[in-house]
Amino acid sequence: MRMRKKKHLEERLEACAPVMLKMQNQNEHANDPLDDELFFDSMKVFGNNNPLHLEVGCGKGKFTAETAQANPDVLLIAVERCREAMVVAMERVIGEGLKNVFFIDADAALLPELFAPGEVDRLYINFCDPWPKSNQKKRRLTHGNFLKKYRQVLKGGGQIHFKTDNDKLFDWSVEEIPQFGFTLSDVTRDLHAGGPVGVMTDYEAKFYTEGKSINRCVATMVDWTEPEAADRGEA
């Protein structure tokens, strides 16, 4: 379902400019040869090498704001392509005075064009669209095509923290993820069975009050060589 267009969206986005990063590779440099100067560099931008965590799809920003607040020594960047949702998250962050969280208006498929290899320590994927039809599976954020892109920006040993309420997506994902050089841990199909665990998203808090089970796992990147097409059974 498409989000309703927010009133005065452009004006609100402009007011949030202090927390919105404009990446060179989003525009005229997108097809340039690999050049370190075109990638995000936390040392140049913020003057430190604090751990960098990405959130792919931040929604209205409850998880974003609370995670940043709980981890002041971590730089959190939310990558969100829906500007109607992102503006709410940015206003939330600004309202709470947080200084370690920023936003990029982009699609997850562009991550390797925005961040240098090995730049990211952790990546969060929370309650993404399950794309339930078989002909939609390549759109799932846990599909191998996306996993290979995450590998390009994650450090060795970097992690993906994945949460969803969709059981079928979770079942599919825990089969898909290890095939692309990740080991799974902390796999649970009822994260909050013993009470609330960690920071919740807006959706998650709603699901918790309704008694709906939440699936979660952690995927840690390990050395991996992509098989040849013949080894994968491709023509």
CATH of domain 9-26+48-221: 3.40.50.150
Distance CA 77, CA 56 (A): 9
Locus of tokens 């998880």: 63
pLDDT at position 135:
95
| CA R_g for the chain | 18
Distances (CA, A) of 91 to 3, 86, 98: 17, 9, 11
pLDDT at position 36:
46
Structure tokens of 8? 């005065």
The per-residue pLDDT for range 132-183, each reduced to its tens digit, is 999 999 999 999 999 999 999 999 999 999 999 999 999 999 999 999 999 9
Structure tokens of 122? 């952790």
Tell me the catalytic residues: 129
| The model's pTM | 0.87
Q: Residues 6 or more apart from 138 whose CB is under 8 A from it?
A: 145
